[in-house]
Amino acid sequence: MENHLGNDQNYKLDFHGKGSDFFGIIIVNWLLTIITLGIYYPWAKAKQLQFIYSSTSLNGDSFSFHGTGKEMFKGFIKAILIFGILYGVLISFVYLKMPFVGLLLFYIGFLAIFPIAIHGSYRYRMSRTSWRGIRFGYRGDRKEFTLLFFKWVGLTIITLGIYGAWMAMNMRNYLLGNVRFGDSEFQYDGDGGDYFMLNLKGYFLTIITLGIYSFWWQKDLFEYYVNNLSLKKNNERINFTSTATGGDFFGLVVVNVLILIFTLGLGYAWVVTRTMKFIFENVALDGNFDLDTLTQTEENYKDATGEDLSDFLDLDAVM
């Protein structure tokens, strides 16, 4: 195999989706979801994701999302059944005049869903994403991640929330570290101590400056998320770097808020596309990884239950 080590490559991330196009998709989705009493929601989400992915490009070639409304609908039904069982258990114990036991079982079951939802969402979303026909994949183990998740939650509770910073970074390290892009793999090197100090600094400076520093806090967080991410294959690597400033975040947030206020929320589509464009314009890629050498290694996974559970729990993907 030819060794590309030391040969700098050119990379360009871009988002070219238009707010007007996304607005048309959202309006149709809203109407059909209302008319069908929510049944159309999985198809609505699939169409939105297909728009977002196809509007995002790397070196001029767009990403693709291959998930379908039918796949998501099956996951949607499973998610409803799971939550239905949880609420059924709660109501049953309330009827038996044992509300404390019912609440305890409900919250244990509810908490247990979180790692399953996160793991399932990553597995589905990654396997249904491709670029130049090369699929992404997620190789995390559900049992391993679930055990780690409860370990991290336990430590967070014992430390009265202080360990939360370490939990956030451990989770990001595990999830992103198990994402594959063909025969390459992502690596995340976040540290809980650094993340804790970053948030501590942001919290106090935001209070001292009466909220003004919050935009620079957001910049610091975005920078930390991006700068610790890399993509590697053998001795080749692509490093991600944030170029955004606090002033950039100030401008983005203020304009987005004004758009939502003066359009009474109808400008949401433009807010989303502006934000996506901002993100990709402010992520620089540098390295010696020749993308033309990528080969297919990942398989399709069509169970969208985790994706729909994540929606119900309002969980955003880490990536």
Q: Higher-confidence residue: 307 or 22?
A: 22
Average pLDDT over residues 261-287: 95
Split at pLDDT 50, 70, 90, the class of 1 is: very low
The predicted pLDDT at position 313 comes to 52
User: Which tens digits make up the pLDDT trace of 32-57?
Assistant: 999 999 899 999 999 999 999 999 99
- pLDDT at residue 2 greater than cutoff 60: no
Contact 123, 135 (CB under 8 A): no
Split at pLDDT 50, 70, 90, the class of 90 is: confident
Amino acid identity, position 275 = T
Measuring CA to CA, how many Å separate 9 from each of 101, 230, 283, 287, 288?
Answer: 60, 15, 16, 6, 5
Q: Higher-confidence residue: 79 or 208?
A: 208
Contact 309, 77 (CB under 8 A): no
The predicted pLDDT at position 267 comes to 95
User: Which tens digits make up the pLDDT trace of 164-212?
Assistant: 999 999 999 999 999 999 999 999 999 999 999 999 999 999 999 999 9
User: Which tens digits make up the pLDDT trace of 58-75?
Assistant: 999 999 999 988 888 887
Query: In sequence order, what are the beta bridge partners of 14?
Result: 57
Quote the strand ranges of the chain, DSSP E: 13-15, 56-58, 61-65, 129-131, 134-138, 179-181, 184-188, 229-233, 236-242, 283-287
Q: How many other C-beta atoms can be found within 10 angstroms of the C-beta atom of residue 50?
A: 18
Q: How far apart are CA 43 and CA 73, in angstroms?
A: 7
Report which of 6, 77, 19 is spatially closest to residue 51, judged by C-alpha positions: 19
User: Which tens digits make up the pLDDT trace of 110-150?
Assistant: 888 889 888 888 988 999 999 999 999 999 999 999 999 99
Residue with tokens 């314009």, as numbered in its chain: 281
* DSSP designation for 319: -
pTM for the predicted model, two decimal places: 0.86
Arithmetic mean of pLDDT over the chain: 89
Report which of 198, 108, 103 is spatially closest to residue 154, judged by C-alpha positions: 108
